[in-house]
Structure 1
Amino acid sequence: MADEIQAPWTPEQIRAINSYQTAAEHPLICSRTRDIHQGWHVVLIARRDGMRCSDPSCNYRQNWALGHMAAPREG
C-alpha cells in the first residue's frame, strides 16, 4: 500500500497517530479482537517501535500505519 509507513516513528508521528486513533470513527484495532478480547474492539496505540494493543495482557504488535494518520492535525 503506497500510503503505508513503517516504524520506527518520530515523536511527532506518534502524537499524530495516537491523536488520529482517538478521534477516528473507525480506528485501527487489535487483530486478536475475536480470539482473546471476546469481541471488544481494542485499539492500537502508537509507540516508537510500532503500534501495540491497548490491552496490557495482549502482546499484539503492528509495525505499520497509514501515512495520513501520521500527518499533523490542524486546529
Structure 2
Amino acid sequence: MAERLELPWSEEQVAALNQYQRGGQYHPFTCGGDRSDDAHVAYATAHGEDSGLLVATKDGWVCPVCGYRQAWAHGFMAI
C-alpha cells in the first residue's frame, strides 16, 4: 500500500501537493461536499479550477469554499 503523509505537512510538502493538484496528469483531490452548488461553481469559474479543488495547508487539505477537510495525501504526491 502507498505511504500516506502524516500531518502536519512541511512547507515543502504543501508546495509540492498544491503543484500536484494543478498538474493535470491525475484527477485532483476534490471537496466531499456539494461541489455542484452555486458557491463551488462560482469559485471554480472565477479561479479557472475544477469545482471543489482542495488546497493543501500544513494542517491538511481544505476546500476554500465550504471548509471541508481531508487529513491525508499519498506520499508520492509530495515528491
What are the ranges of 5 or more consecutive residues in structure 1 without an aligned counterpart?
A: none
RMSD: 1.7
Q: What letter corresponds to residue 30 of structure 2 in structure 1? A: I
Tell me which residue corresponds to 2:56. Answer: 46
Higher strand share: 1
What are the ranges of 5 or more consecutive residues in structure 2 without an aligned counterpart?
A: 42-50
| Aligned pairs for 1:1-75 within 5 A | 1-24=1-24, 25-32=26-33, 35=34, 37-38=35-36, 41-55=51-65, 58-71=66-79
Identical-residue share of aligned pairs (%): 42
TM-score by length of 2: 0.72
Higher helix share: 2
TM-score by length of 1: 0.76
